[in-house]
A and B are shown apart, each in its own frame.
Chain A
Amino acid sequence: MDFSFTEEQNKLRQEVRNFLEEEIKKGYWEPACDAWVQSFDTGFTKRVAQRGWIGLTWPKEYGGQGRNHVDRLILTEEMLRYGAPAACHWFGDRQVGGAILSFGSEELKKEFLPRIVKGEAYFGLGMSEPGAGSDLASLQTKAVEDGDYYVINGQKTWASCASFANYFDVYARTDPEVPRHRGISEFIVDAKSPGLSRIPMTDITGTEAWNDIFFDNVRVHKRYLVGEKNRGFYQVLHQLDYERSGMERLMGNYPLFEAIIQFAKENKLSQEPVIRNKLAQLQIEFEVGRLLIYRVALVMEEGRAPNWESAMSKAYSTEFENHLAGVAMEVLGPYGQLMSGSKLVPLRGMASHSYLGSKGYSLQAGTTEILKNILAVRGLRLPSS
């Protein structure tokens, strides 16, 4: 056991902090909750790319830095600590690039990975459908072969980052005759494809959080099939392990955490035993969650896909985020209900925003219930229900 970071890792953390503090000082952006998935800033993404901080773990031949997963976790931990507007590149960096690297053809790797690394290719996800949420294998969107093309028809929903994405990672049924897990394929679809349209959806915070995406005879060349035909479901499980693996599940609303502690100190609320106790408990939960997530990075470093380990850390961590939002509202009392833009609103409205936003944390990328199923069946080997 060794809980220390290498000198190089400490240096990386410091570099990222310096960079982000400089950005804030220059007034480029303000730290915000959920900025990793809701704040789109192509300038920021390009500046991050210039430092080599997208695709950090990927091989150098595709523009990556060949660094390890703990290094990347340090980088993303700092991005989240500062509430940096990283939404343009987050999905490509976190999971789609990795999926292309694991399953894609050489041609796909060469086409997309260097562009993700340069901060030029932004990805959204086309997984969920109106009738296929937790039961993703029941998806109905179809891709039918037509010469060198697949023709995609159907509807995807809950697509984060969709307004800014230039590409979607889309899962569609390519064989309706076989058992449903074995007839799904993965495609990279250009967002400008004729027949593809989007309708934004607003969440309860008032933010455009997702899009519905409609596919009306969208033609995708066969070279944009990722991996093997009909292996898409197995590939998406792998990708979801990565989607759940990161610090964004614990630190999505971290700027609120710092702000509420500061607020309690400044207003002498932290002298009150009940509030002291609640904030200290949050700190304990936060640091415990952080270790569960570093464990996931170490599993990846061993060359294993983190499966039940990331299910565990994600289920645990979103509970922390919910708890944080709840405590922040309690500490603020009646001021907590004020929304951004209101007279007297505390903490720039982060508490009310985060409280409402947190209701989705334990739903996205696998509900807590699905994650516990994974942990029980795959981690503890309990019999399937």
Chain B
Amino acid sequence: MKLTLTEEQEMLKKTARDFLADKCSKTFVKQIEESETGYSRELWQEMAELGWMGLALPEKHGGGDMSFLDLAVLLEEMGRACLPGPFFSTVVLGGLSILDIGSEKQKQEYLPKLIRGEKIFTLALTEPGYHNYDTSSVTVEAAPDDGNYTINGTKLFVPDAHIADYLLCVARTKPKDGITIFLVDAKNPKINYTVLKTIAGDKLCEVVFDQMPIPEANILGRLNQGWSAVQKIIQRAAVGKCCEMVGNIQRVLEMTVDYAKERKQFDRPIGSFQAIQHYCADMATDVDSARFSTYQAAWMLSEGLPCTKEVAIAKAWIGEASQRVFALAHQIHGAIGVTIEHDLHFYTRRAKAAELAFGDADFYREIVAKEMGL
């Protein structure tokens, strides 16, 4: 057992932190949030040159051949920096899924472009009225049409779809339990995008497919058997979100403790008051426990071990732990923390979005209950 990073991971962490400190200031984040695309093409290309898109993808496709655990370290740093853009969509939802279930031909076609930063990917899974990532909530239909398929229906909360080159679209191909994933050219004129205005300032979209034809060759994985792949994608995405959240709340703890040391009232730093000290202690406990449970899940996923329970524990825990952290962070920061000039809101807004993404605490508690045999 070892709960520290390897030397290589420490280096990756440091490189990422330095790079993002330089390139991803809060002024930049604000600017990107207000932009239409929600990312900077220039920064995207630099990240590709650093090898980040391909970090956990095979060398033969141009990747870095590192593990999901290594990627976890990078995601943590991105969470810490509030990095805007389609990295999560492209790599965690797109690239790793293609690696998992794509044919050799599909991998050769798509992964090198993804790794070079040329193409953006995302996952179109959830829909209006969806409930708890359940197979029955997939109603977008891909109807067989002369050996090919026609996709119809609306996907919702699809991250970065408006700028994506490819969508991994989860569609129903058989009335009961027949789910198939299609790799869709996102620029097809039969697809309509509306960018939603979100709490995190990220770009979640409504995606409407209107009689869009798609060749059978674009099926990713197995026809009608896609749901187990979707579950794995959700699981990995949940852990990925946890990693970002660890970076987020770690930074918020540091900001809050620093503030408690500097801010004076009654002629002394507020951090010398026991009430504030105990709040900070509670925050640190939530942050450390979230970190260990997250990395446990990431490690198991990385090792290919069965980890349904551990992933559920990590996401259920961090969802609620992060909300406790923010309640206290705001309380300690006082009024300055609720102003738009202060940086805290960048974290507050993202943490709420991440809590909801890929299953909240109630969703995962039910999974834990099942794993306990209840």
Q: Is B261 an interface residue (CB 8 A)?
A: yes
B366 touches A1 (CB 8 A): no
Chain B proximity mask over A230-269: 1 for CB below 8 Å, otherwise 0:
0000000000000000000000000000000100110000
With a CB–CB cut-off of 8 A, which chain A residues contact B277? Answer: 372-373, 376-377, 380, 382, 385
A1 touches B69 (CB 8 A): yes
A284 touches B368 (CB 8 A): yes
With a CB–CB cut-off of 8 A, which chain A residues contact B273? Answer: 385
Q: Which segment of A53-61, A129-137, A198-206, A288-296 sits at the interface?
A: A288-296
Known: A2-B299, A70-B1. A383 touches B271 (CB 8 A): yes
How many Å lie between the Cα of A281 and that of B69 in the bound state? Answer: 26
CB distance from B15 to the nearest CB of A (A): 18
How many Å lie between the Cα of A4 and that of B310 in the bound state? Answer: 13
How many Å lie between the Cα of A284 and that of B362 in the bound state? Answer: 12
Chain A proximity mask over B1-32: 1 for CB below 8 Å, otherwise 0:
11111000000000000000000000000000
How many Å lie between the Cα of A289 and that of B288 in the bound state? Answer: 10
Q: Is A270 an interface residue (CB 8 A)?
A: yes
Interface residues on B, range: 35 or more
Chain A proximity mask over B226-270: 1 for CB below 8 Å, otherwise 0:
000000000000000000000000000000010011000000110
Known: A270-B369, A288-B289, A375-B284. A276 touches B374 (CB 8 A): yes
CB distance from B102 to the nearest CB of A (A): 28
Q: Is A18 an interface residue (CB 8 A)?
A: no
Q: Is A315 an interface residue (CB 8 A)?
A: yes
With a CB–CB cut-off of 8 A, which chain B residues contact A33? Answer: none
Q: Is B281 an interface residue (CB 8 A)?
A: yes
Q: Is B174 an interface residue (CB 8 A)?
A: no
Q: Out of B271, B295, B313, B365, name the residue touching A277 (CB < 8 Å).
A: B365
With a CB–CB cut-off of 8 A, which chain A residues contact B313? Answer: 283-284, 287-288
With a CB–CB cut-off of 8 A, which chain B residues contact A279? Answer: 369, 372, 374
Q: Which residues, 305 to 363 on B, are CB-close (under 8 Å) to A?
A: 310, 312-313, 316-317, 362
Q: Is A82 an interface residue (CB 8 A)?
A: no
Interface residues on A, range: 35 or more
Known: A316-B285, A372-B277. A380 touches B257 (CB 8 A): yes
A1 touches B299 (CB 8 A): yes
Q: Which residues, 305 to 339 on A, are CB-close (under 8 Å) to B?
A: 312, 315-316
| B72 (CB) vs chain A CBs: closest residue | A1
How many Å lie between the Cα of A217 and that of B216 in the bound state? Answer: 93
A295 touches B272 (CB 8 A): no
Q: Is A360 an interface residue (CB 8 A)?
A: no
CB distance from A39 to the nearest CB of B (A): 28
Chain A proximity mask over B58-86: 1 for CB below 8 Å, otherwise 0:
00000000000100000000000000000
With a CB–CB cut-off of 8 A, which chain B residues contact A382? Answer: 257, 260-261, 269, 271-272, 276-277, 280
Q: Is B278 an interface residue (CB 8 A)?
A: yes
- Listed by A's residue number, 28 A-B pairs whose Cβ atoms lie within 8 Å are A1-B3, A3-B296, A4-B303, A70-B1, A270-B374, A279-B374, A280-B369, A283-B372, A284-B312, A284-B365, A287-B310, A287-B313, A288-B317, A292-B285, A292-B288, A294-B3, A298-B1, A298-B3, A298-B4, A312-B281, A316-B289, A372-B282, A380-B257, A380-B280, A382-B271, A382-B280, A385-B272, A385-B277
Identify 9 new A-B residue pairs, CB closer than 8 A, beyond the known A280-B365, A298-B4, A372-B277. Answer: A265-B374, A276-B365, A281-B316, A291-B293, A312-B281, A312-B288, A372-B281, A373-B274, A377-B277
- Name A's B-contacting residues (CB within 8 A): 1-5, 70, 261, 264-265, 270, 276-277, 279-281, 283-284, 287-289, 291-292, 294-295, 298, 312, 315-316, 369, 371-373, 375-377, 379-385
